[in-house]
Amino acid sequence: MTSKPTIYHEKQVKELCALHALNNLFQTRGTYSKSELDAICSRLSPNVWINPHRSMLGLGNYDINVIMAALQKKGCEAVWFDKRKDPGCLDLSNICGFILNVPSDYKLGFVMLPLRRRHWITIRQIQGNFYNLDSKLDAPQLIGRSSDLIAYLKEQLDSKEKELFVVVSKEVEEKQQWMHQYALNNHTTSQNSAPVPANHCESPAESISSLSQYDYRNRDAVCLQVTEVRNCVVSRENHF
C-alpha cells in the first residue's frame, strides 16, 4: 500500500495568503517570513507613508510585485499565463508550481464586509500528484495527475477574475521552456504565415504585451500589471 505523501500546508492567518502561498510552494516552514516580505515592500517603495504593495494596516495583502521579488531571491520567476491560451501547451516537467490569483470576500470576525480582496493560492506537484494548497482549506486538496491538472486550470481560467502565474527557474523562463516545444515552433511559423489561431500558445513576451486591454485602476488587479512589475523589480534590484 502506498503511503500518503507528507505535505507542508500553511493555514490562513490575517491577510498573509501571499506568504502562505510562497511557503507552500517551496514546501518548507519559514522559507519566507512576514518581516522579509515587509522588507521587500519597503525596498520596492521606500520613503512612503502608505506602502502600495501591502495592506496599510500591516496585516499582509501583498501584491504580485512582492511575490515576484521574493521568488527572484530563490532564482525563480513568476510568468503570467495568457488565459486565452490552452493550458495544454504548458510543459509541466519544467514548471515548479503555479500561483493562482482569485477574488475573495473579506470578513471581520463573523461579519462579511462589502470589500473585495485578492487571494493567492499555490498549486504544485508532490510525489506525482498535483495538489491545491489554498491556505483557506482545512487540508491540501488533491487535483490528480497531469491531465487532471490541465482540466482544473481550464476550469479556473474560465473566470475573468482569476489569473494564473507559472513559477519556473530563471533559466527555464529565459529559454521559454515552460511551454512545449511544438507551441514555440507554431509561434515561429505563424510569424511568417496565416493569422494566429485562438488556441495558439504565445511566447511570454507576446502574452505580457497583450495586458494593455485590462483596466489597471484597481489596486486589487495589480497582478495584471506584469510589465510594470518586471520593470519595478529590476530597477529596485539594480539600485541596491
Q: Is 239 annotated in the active site?
A: no
Res 215: pLDDT: 33
How far apart, in whole angstroms, are the C-alpha atoms of residue 141 and residue 152? 12
Which bin fits 21, alpha (ψ -120 to 50), beta or left (φ > 0)? Answer: alpha
Contact 53, 62 (CB under 8 A): yes
Q: Where are the beta strands (DSSP E) in 82-136?
A: 97-108, 111-126, 129-132
Res 186: pLDDT: 63
Res 58: pLDDT: 67
CA 135 to chain CA mean position, Å: 14
3-class state of residue 215 by DSSP: coil
pTM check: above 0.85: no
Which residue type, as a one-letter code, is found at position 133? L
Catalytic one among 17, 76, 96, 223?
17
How far apart, in whole angstroms, are the C-alpha atoms of residue 87 and residue 82? 9
- For the chain, which domains are there? 17-239 (3.90.70.40)
Catalytic one among 20, 53, 119, 187?
119
Residues 6+ apart with CB under 8 A from 176: 184, 203, 204
Q: Grid coordinates standing for 46?
A: 521606500
Q: Is 41 annotated in the active site?
A: no
10-residue stretch averages of pLDDT, the chain, 240 residues long: 81 90 94 92 86 76 91 94 92 96 63 60 96 95 96 93 94 91 61 47 37 32 37 42
